[in-house]
């Protein structure tokens, strides 16, 4: 596919990051790298935050592909940060609370703990971080300023806001410049990328490393079924595979209600399964369905171009 401005775009993605790796394919990345050449830039998606898609990108995809990034972009919104600061619950089809439509600096300040933990998580892999605030028309300059300032203080190489939804590529020029500068710094420093864990660790040790270092859990509990599965997979020699945790995308923890940067919780592993073909072990944590709730009628049937050349059916 291509963007409206003619930039190549490979839509070659995998399943959701809450139940699988949530990453664009290695094939798409390799094609992109070939097309842009040694001095070009390829942006690839690692979905559902630095606790899920990003960690899986580093610990699973980078191991398989041999490719490592020079920069990670963390996309933030004022609204998401407000929600992590204790804002009203948001549900599809319901009206947004006024807190999301008006300036509310206190909620922004409280929600910054979530963004800071994402920044800390990425930096554990030795990669430079650029934070971009995806700007909405209801966001105020003060709210954006608070977020970008806090992001830099938390260790981000740079923090900018982007208005590309309204201005296209022009609205993301500052982001592009920040990413190029971050990549240059990473290259100059010798590309200090590192994995979170060694594959030679046991299944439990790898799960507990992710739980401790990325989610900030106090520990991990295992059901009898999980213990049995771990013993079987270890006996079968599958214990050297990387870990792909299945959990909610709404919290660093297993509980979607625990917003912000929760502490003092145990991560419950209810089941452990093997995707031997894909090449990873996936523990199931908390209430999680491994079958996505997709509609029986795909949305693509209602997407079209009207007589004036406008795309319809995307909202």
CATH numeric code, 203-285? 3.10.410.10
The predicted structure's pLDDT at residue 289: 82
The predicted structure's pLDDT at residue 247: 95
pLDDT in tens, 196-223: 999 999 999 999 999 999 999 999 999 9
Do 238 and 276 form a contact (C-beta atoms < 8 A)? yes
299: tokens are 């949305």
As a whole number of angstroms, the distance between CA 114 and CA 293 comes to 26
Which of 88-97, 256-265, 267-276 bottoms out in mean pLDDT, i.e. has the lowest?
88-97
- DSSP letter for each residue of 119-177: HHHHHTTT-EEEEEEE--TT--HHHHHHHHHHHHHTT-SEEEEE-HHHHGGGGGHHHHH
84: exposed, middle or buried (Cβ count in 10 Å: 0-12, 13-18, 19+)? buried
213 half-sphere exposure, CB direction, 13 A CA radius: 16
CATH numeric code, 70-188? 3.40.50.300
pLDDT in tens, 269-298: 999 999 999 899 999 998 888 876 777 888
Each domain of the chain, given as residue ranges in start order, spans 70-188, 203-285
Which residues, other chains included, contact 160 with Cβ-Cβ below 8 Å and sequence gap of 6+?
130, 131, 132, 133, 148, 174, 175, 178
- The band of 190, judged by pLDDT with boundaries at 50, 70 and 90, is confident
Strands (E), the chain: 71-76, 128-134, 158-162, 219-222, 266-275, 280-285, 304-305, 311-312
pTM, two decimal places: 0.90
* Number of helical (H) and strand (E) elements in the chain, helices listed first: 11, 8
Average pLDDT over residues 29-41: 94
């Amino acid at each position: 596919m291509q963007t409206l401005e003619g930039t190549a775009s490979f839509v070659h993605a995998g399943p959701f990051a809450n139940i699988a790796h949530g990453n664009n394919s290695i094939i798409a990345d390799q094609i992109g790298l070939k097309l842009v050449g040694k001095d070009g830039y390829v942006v690839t998606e690692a979905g559902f935050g630095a606790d899920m898609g990003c960690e899986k990108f580093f610990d699973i995809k980078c191991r398989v592909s041999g490719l490592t990034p020079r920069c990670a972009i963390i996309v933030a919104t004022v609204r998401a940060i407000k929600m992590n600061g204790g804002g009203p619950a948001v549900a599809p089809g319901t009206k947004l609370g006024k807190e999301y439509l008006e300036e509310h600096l206190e909620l922004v300040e409280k929600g910054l703990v979530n963004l800071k933990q994402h920044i800390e998580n990425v930096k554990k892999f030795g990669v430079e971080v650029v934070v971009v605030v995806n700007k909405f028309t209801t966001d105020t300059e003060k709210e954006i300023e608070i977020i970008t300032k806090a992001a830099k203080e938390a260790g981000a190489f740079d923090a900018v806001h982007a208005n590309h939804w309204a201005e296209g590529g022009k609205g993301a020029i500052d982001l592009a410049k920040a990413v190029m500068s971050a990549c240059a710094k990473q290259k100059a420093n010798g590309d200090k990328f590192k994995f979170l864990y060694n594959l030679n660790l046991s299944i439990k040790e790898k799960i507990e490393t992710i739980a401790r270092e990325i989610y900030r859990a106090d520990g991990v509990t295992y059901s009898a079924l999980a213990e049995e599965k771990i013993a079987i997979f270890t006996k079968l020699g599958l214990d050297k595979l990387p870990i792909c945790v299945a959990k909610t995308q709404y919290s660093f923890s297993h509980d979607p209600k625990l917003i912000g940067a929760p502490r003092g919780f145990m991560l419950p592993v209810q089941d452990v399964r093997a995707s031997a073909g894909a090449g990873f072990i996936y523990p199931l944590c908390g209430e999680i369905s491994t079958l996505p709730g997709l509609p029986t009628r795909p949305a693509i049937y209602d997407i079209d171009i009207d007589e004036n050349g406008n795309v319809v059916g995307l909202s």
